[in-house]
Structure formats: C-alpha cells, structure tokens
C-alpha cells in the first residue's frame, strides 16, 4: 500500500472562497517523480434521511445552481467549522430545513463525495421518532418539502431518477436496514 502514497512537497493557495478553498500541491509520486494536484478543500457536510413510522421519507426539492436544475434530495448542509460534531450539525440541518426533531439517530457512514477533486466528507444519518415544529431556513435557502414512501424512493434510485449521490446512498442503506 505504501507504494501508492503521494507526498506533498509544496502547496500553493489558488482561491479562498465562502464554501471552497482551492489549492495546487506539488507532490512526489511513488516512483520519485513530481506532479501537480489541484483540488478543493471543504469543511465537510451532513445529510439526514428522516423516516416516519409509515416508512415515508421527508424529501426536499432544491435548485442547484452548478447543474442549473432542481434536485430531489434528503435534508443536508455543511458543517459550520471543520471540528463541528457531525451529529449536532445533522440535528441543526434537519430542524432548519424540515422543522423536524428526531428522538433517534442512526449513523449510516461517511461519504467521500468526489475524491479526485474534493476533500469533502459527508456524514450520513437516519433520523426516526420525529416531532415537528417550525422550519428555520437560511436567508438564501429555498426548498420544497414532501413525503415519499421509502419503497418508491428505492425504485427511483434504481431507475436513475434520483441523481444526488448522498441521497442515493442513504436511501439504499436505509432500504437495506429496514427490509
């Protein structure tokens, strides 16, 4: 395995934005030669699959500018800072986006979203025993919420109708857990 590791020699800061931080590293390859690696640093994120007792899931429709279309997703959001407890962030995002507070959370795992270009890690959770209050969307956040049976979401993933990776994986994991 050590014959696959690349060693950072130098880092150049390319861009420091609100969400993304772009860097260019000079690395030493396993064969001793040098190469460049450009990638984005990201603080990390969470996603939550909120499951109701009747096996319906609270889903969101949200416009994603980079793709210029509306995506069908589970609630999600970025960490406020790198060391933030992912479970606390998941609780916050679920409440803000859906108004739900869960009595039970199950950790579903971590997702490295695009490891060739981005160091983002998404922490995935199942939320159950839900109680509802008011939503508290961010000022620049616009989304519609709807309930969809887990069985239908599974079929939508398998038909390729749900394009969002974190949503696909969370649905498939919960489908397997609840079979």
Q: Which helix (H) or strand (E) holds 154?
A: helix 150-158
Q: Cα dist. 26→22, 36, 118 in Å? A: 14, 5, 16
Residues paired with residue 38 on neighbouring β-strands, in sequence order = 24
Annotated catalytic residue: which of 6, 13, 139, 146?
Answer: 139
Please give the Cα distance from 62 to 74 (Å, whole number).
10
CB atoms within 10 A of CB 116: 7
Strand arrangement, sheet containing 143-149: 69-73, 56-64, 143-149
Please give the Cα distance from 3 to 143 (Å, whole number).
46
**Residue 139 annotated as catalytic:** yes
SS3 141: coil
State the Cα torsion 166-106-45-26 to the nearest 10°.
-80
Q: Known catalytic residues?
A: 139
């Amino acid at each position: 395995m050590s014959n696959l590791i690349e060693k950072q020699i130098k880092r150049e800061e390319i861009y420091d934005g609100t969400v993304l931080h772009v860097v260019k590293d000079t690395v030493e390859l396993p064969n001793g030669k040098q190469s460049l690696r450009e990638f984005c640093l990201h603080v990390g994120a969470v996603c939550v699959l909120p499951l109701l007792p009747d096996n319906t899931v609270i889903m969101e429709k949200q416009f994603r500018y980079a793709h210029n279309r509306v995506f069908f997703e589970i609630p999600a959001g970025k960490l406020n800072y790198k060391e933030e407890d992912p479970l606390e962030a998941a609780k916050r995002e679920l409440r803000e986006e859906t108004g739900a507070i869960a009595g039970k959370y199950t950790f579903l795992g971590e997702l490295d979203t695009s490891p060739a270009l981005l160091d983002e890690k998404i922490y995935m959770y199942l939320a159950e025993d839900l109680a509802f209050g008011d939503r508290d969307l961010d000022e620049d956040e616009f989304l519609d919420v709807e309930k969809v049976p887990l069985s239908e979401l599974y079929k939508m993933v398998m038909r390729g109708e749900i394009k969002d990776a974190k949503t696909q994986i969370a649905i498939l994991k919960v489908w397997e857990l609840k079979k």
